[in-house]
Structure formats: C-alpha cells, structure tokens
Structure 1
Amino acid sequence: MLADLSPLIAATAQWLTRAYPASGGALASALCEAQARQAVTVAAWLRYPTSMDAALVGMAGPGGSGRLDWITGADAGTEAHDPAHAWRTWVDEVVASWAACLLTDPELARLAVAALAEGAHTTGTPAEFGRLVAPGSHDREAAALLRHPQLVAPIAELHQDGLLDRLGPGRALIA
C-alpha cells in the first residue's frame, strides 16, 4: 500500500503552477513551485492526517483534475487518455482548493501549519513552510497569479468550508 502522499502532492502542485504560472524566468518558476508545493503539502497533510488516510487515497486515487481543468479552462487541448497527461489523475481537487486558500490568506496559512502538529505527517518544523507563511517580495512577485485572491477564487471556494471545518470552529471565525 502507498502510505505517502508524494505523488498526490507533486501532481497537485504541478497542476497549480500550470494553471497559475510564475511571472518571470527560471528563478520565478522555482519560487512559484516551492510555494505551491508547500501549500499543497500542508493541505494534503491536513486532508489525510494519518498514514491510513494516505494509504486509502493511494488505493482509491484522489480523483484527478477534471473539474479543476474545466473551471480554469485548462482542459483545452488535453486528451484524457494521453499518457503525457497521466499525472493529472493524481491531482486532488480538495487539496488544490485548500492550497489555493492557504496561498491567498496568510493568517489561514499560519493556522493550517500550526494545526499540522495534530497529524501524523509532521516530522519537521514550521520553518519548512516559510515561503507559504512568510513569503518575501521575490516570492510574492514570482507567484503573483497563484497568490491573487480573485484569480484563484473559483478554485479556493470549492472546498474552503471543509478547510475551515478541519481547522476547527474557533479558527473558522478568523478566516
């Protein structure tokens, strides 16, 4: 059984950075990817807090990017059965939505990282998520599209209530 979320995290982060690409060159792309990966990691660890949850999504599959592609218009020209797009089957819609919420709301991102202490995945420190919770000016410039609340709203709003519920009733009032 697959008990780690790395395929889901990689595919969902890739989807986010393709849907909301970096502004600039190679450095901007790397910074945007790092922020997307951190947000997706936090979202995935919150969504699948135990190794059993991770194993179950590994067996059942996360659902794919179909609806996300349709919402953003990213489905144009992608063939569902094209092997070059097989990674899209590992995209998790809920995780992408939660990551979009975290990228556009710094306080919510801090609350989410703090909530990771309750899960089984956390092996490091909150400093691992520095680009998510405290992005520098280069980070914000590189991920201008990815962090733009109005641009990512159609994705963020899909499952925002679930994230707020997961973070707890007291925390939901802050967001």
Structure 2
Amino acid sequence: MLTDLSPLIAATARWLTGAYPASGGALATALCEAQARQAVTAAAWLRYPTEIDAGLVTMAGPGGAARLDWITGAEPADDHPAEEWAWRTWVDEVVASWAAVLLTDAELASLAVAALADGEHTADTAAEFRRLLSPDDGDRRAAALLRHPDLMAPVAGLHHDQLLVRLTPGRSLAA
C-alpha cells in the first residue's frame, strides 16, 4: 500500500497556485509555490497523520478539484483533454481548505506546525515551514492573492471548523 502523500500534496499545491497565482515573475512564482507547498504539506500531514491514513487516501483517492473549481469560479475540467487534467483528481478539498486557513491565519499556522512535531510524517525528516510561519516581505508580495483572507475565504471556510477541532482536541464547535 502506497503511503506517500506527495501526489496529493503536489496536486493540491498546484491547484492553489493556479487559483491564486503569484504576483510577479519567475522568482515570485517560486516563492508562492513554496508557501503553498508548505501549507499543503502541513495540512495533509494533519489530515492524514499516520501511514495507515495516508495509505487509505491513496487507495480511495482524495476526491478531486471539482467543488473547489465551482466555488472559485475556475474553468470546468470538461474544456480540456483528460490527460491535461488528470492531476486534478489528486486534489484534496479538505487539505486545500486547511492550507488556505494556514496561509491566512498565522496563529493557526503556528498551532498546526506545532501539532506536527510528534507525528509520523516528521519523525524521519527535518521539516521546514519558515515561509509558512515567517514570510518576509518578498514572500508576502509574491503570494499576495494566496495569503489574502477575503479572497481565500470561500475555500478556507469549507472545512475551517474541522481544522479547529483537529488542532484543539476536545473543543466543541457549539462553544
């Protein structure tokens, strides 16, 4: 059973940077992609914290980008050949939503990265989340759309409550 989340992380980060592209040239694009990948990685590791969880999502599939496209007004996949859009089946809506929250809420991003410290995914790797947690001015300019709370709100709001429950176990949503 495949337990590598990299296809899901790559596709979801690609979707985010396509929906909320960088402002500027090649360097801005690279900085925006790095921030998206760090946010998506943290979100994916939170969503699928064990190898069993990762294995199950790779067997069942994460669900694809159709609802995210509809919410953001992106083009439907029907307009393009299937081979150009196959990666979109690996987009995970919950992971994209959680990543959107992490990109727009520094406090929750810090809580999320702290929650990863004892997880299975970070046991053998020195994960770096500097661009997510402490973006400099260049990072902020490059990812102005990706980090804009109002623009990201439709995606962030989809599963925001689930992220809060994951980061604060025992918390009641009614509170």
Sort the TM-score into its range (normalised by shorter chain): over 0.9
Residue 170 of structure 1 deviates from its aligned partner by: 7.7
Percent identity of the aligned residues? 73
Distance in 1, matches of 2:126 and 2:172, equals 23
Which runs of no fewer than 5 residues in structure 2 stay unpaired? none
Distance in 1, matches of 2:81 and 2:61, equals 16
Structure 1 residue ranges (4+ consecutive) displaced by more than 3 angstroms after TM superposition = 76-81, 123-126, 169-173
Distance 1:129 1:92, change over 3 A: same
Which residue matches 1:61? 61
Residue 153 of structure 1 deviates from its aligned partner by: 0.1
For each residue in 1:125-146, what CA deviation from the matched residue of structure 2 results, as whole angstroms up to 9, or x when unmatched?
A: 46x0000000000000000000
Given that 1:111 and 1:171 are in contact with CA atoms closer than 8 Å, whether structure 2 keeps it comes out as no
Which runs of no fewer than 5 residues in structure 1 stay unpaired? none
Distance 1:70 1:117, change over 3 A: same
Which residue matches 1:136? 136
Q: Aligned runs of 1:1-175 on 2, under 5 Å? A: 1-76=1-76, 78-79=78-79, 82-122=82-122, 123-125=124-126, 128-169=128-169
Given that 2:8 and 2:90 are in contact with CA atoms closer than 8 Å, whether structure 1 keeps it comes out as yes
TM-score, normalisation: structure 2: 0.93
Letter in 2 for 1:89: T
Q: Which has the larger helix fraction?
A: 1
Distance in 2, matches of 1:25 and 1:171, equals 43
Residue 87 of structure 1 deviates from its aligned partner by: 0.2
Distance in 1, matches of 2:172 and 2:29, equals 32
Distance 1:111 1:166, change over 3 A: same
Select between 140-149 and 66-75 the one with higher mean Cα deviation: 66-75
TM-score, normalisation: structure 1: 0.93
